[in-house]
Structure 1
Amino acid sequence: MLKTKYAGQGSAAQKYDLITALGSHALSLNKTEQRRVLRLITLVTARYNWGRNELAVGQREIARLWSCDERTVKREMARFRALGWLTVKRQGARGRVTEYQMELADVMNDTRATWEAVGPDFALRVEGAPEQTSVVPFPAGTQSVQSPPPDISDGMEWSLAQAVLHQEDQARFGAWLQALTRGERAGGRLTLRAPSRFHARYVQNNMAREVLLACQAVDSSVSEVLITG
């Protein structure tokens, strides 16, 4: 399911994902279409009210922002409406500009073809993977749940590093790091295995530095940690 709420916790990252999707989509188009999407990106970045899901800007102001005339603004806004990317929330009247809202799901669906060009994790993050619902976000109160300490009896660097990570944040350890198992060790590179590709990507993208530092704290010869799923 596409994420279409761009306010509240995590909204900043979601806005960046929206802009990234639009930018990648634009670069796959001809120059005329590229300029059109760039105009929308600039308008949304500068003037969109995310809290109210609203764009309320007059044509004259948009023309200044886009360095064009008001006829071009009228034509381009009509084009965005035809695409289904913008809809009229409240029609303008004397002394009041027309208010628009972005149809975020439609925008993201229309840019889907270029998501893979951004990176293999992009679609998972934007669309949401089934595995995610079981571990994030943390339900209220889970931060206080006690996670059992890891078994360090084998004396391996990853077991000892897990003990360090457990002490730092038990809730995050229980949700993400406890399930990682030790794989191969080649020189300074340590490979950890996650139960799924999504799990591996999430840890690699969000916790890789903490994992590496914990490993180095117990074994200074570790120079790289690779997480696979």
Structure 2
Amino acid sequence: MQLSKPVGRNAPALKYDILSALAVHALSGDKHRQRSILRIVSLITTRYNWRNNELSIGREEIARLWSVDERTVKREMAKLRGLGWIAVKRPAVRGRVAVYELDLKQIMLDTSTVWPVIGTDFAERMGHQPEVEPSNIVPFAVKPPLAQTDGDDVWSAVQAALHGRDPELWSSWFQHLTEVERAGGVATLMAPSRFMADYIAQKWSGRILAAYGRTDPSIRSIRVEAAE
């Protein structure tokens, strides 16, 4: 997926697409997901500068918009940073509030499971590689292809298979994994954080297992643990 910058002639449609994906993703989850996404949507619609990718707002103002206390704001913003949806662009300094930026591509990748629910045209449109002028594209770095393995290193072959299927997904998630054990039909992987371990185990263990199946069919299940 290549996400055009939401400015120019097609900006309104792209903004609606992003907000639609967030809304439907929220409705497909429990009340906790719905509340979290409603909160980030409120920040996007009230304070987000699409052209500059800047969200300039203080914790006190966020608390007022969300009708919560500042402790809740701190916890919720940490959760959004953990998802990779939001990052601090410029920290708060005396007399000036923090400026955040949104990773719109990560947001769309994480909501991709609901695209077909919105419509096949939506899924095709969002998955399409648009032909636009280079100045209209937001560059997202993708790791270069992995080196070919000699067939003896199972984990390297699994990583190569994951990279080959989806370089962007590999760059966001799989490249951070290491294999710590492979025994008894179980491959144990290590992720750098508990959030990443739980997320990958829940959402991508099937894809990892399929990659193992092409290299070492004896592996029948995946376990993802956290380093911290």
TM-score normalised per structure 2: 0.56
Quick one: distance in 1 between partners of 2:30 and 2:4?
27
Q: Which amino acid aligns with 1:39?
A: R
Q: Which residue of 2 aligns with 1:18?
A: 18
**Contact 1:14/1:126, CA 8 A, preserved across alignment:** no
Q: Which residue of 1 aligns with 2:82?
A: 82
Matches within 5 A, 1:98-117: 98-117=98-117
Deviation string, structure 1 residues 44-70 (Cα, Å, up to 9, x no partner): 111101121100111111111111111
Quick one: distance in 2 between partners of 1:12 and 1:24?
18
- CA positional deviation for 1:127: 2.6
Quick one: distance in 1 between partners of 2:45 and 2:126?
19
Q: Which residue of 1 aligns with 2:2?
A: 2
Matches within 5 A, 1:59-138: 59-128=59-128, 133=131
- Secondary structure of the 1:94 match is coil
- Secondary structure of the 2:15 match is helix
**Contact 1:4/1:105, CA 8 A, preserved across alignment:** no
- Secondary structure of the 1:51 match is coil
**Contact 1:3/1:128, CA 8 A, preserved across alignment:** no
- Secondary structure of the 1:121 match is helix
1:43 aligns with 2:36: no
Quick one: distance in 1 between partners of 2:6 and 2:100?
16
- CA positional deviation for 1:78: 0.8
**Contact 1:4/1:104, CA 8 A, preserved across alignment:** no
Q: Which amino acid aligns with 1:110?
A: D
Structure 2: gaps (5+ residues): 134-228
Structure 1: gaps (5+ residues): 138-229
- Secondary structure of the 1:55 match is strand
Quick one: distance in 2 between partners of 1:4 and 1:89?
20
Q: Select the structure of larger CA radius of gyration.
A: 1
- Secondary structure of the 2:36 match is helix
- Secondary structure of the 2:101 match is strand
**Contact 1:3/1:127, CA 8 A, preserved across alignment:** no
Quick one: distance in 2 between partners of 1:81 and 1:123?
26
Q: Which residue of 2 aligns with 1:193?
A: none
**Contact 1:84/1:103, CA 8 A, preserved across alignment:** yes
Quick one: distance in 2 between partners of 1:51 and 1:72?
29
- CA positional deviation for 1:4: 3.9
Quick one: distance in 2 between partners of 1:90 and 1:8?
26
Name the count of aligned residue pairs: 133
Q: Which residue of 2 aligns with 1:194?
A: none
Q: Which residue of 1 aligns with 2:204?
A: none
Q: Which amino acid aligns with 2:8?
A: G
Deviation string, structure 1 residues 80-101 (Cα, Å, up to 9, x no partner): 0000000111111111111110
- CA positional deviation for 1:15: 0.4
Q: Which residue of 2 aligns with 1:56?
A: 56
Q: Which residue of 2 aligns with 1:32?
A: 32
Change (3 A) 1:4 1:85: farther
Quick one: distance in 1 between partners of 2:126 and 2:111?
12
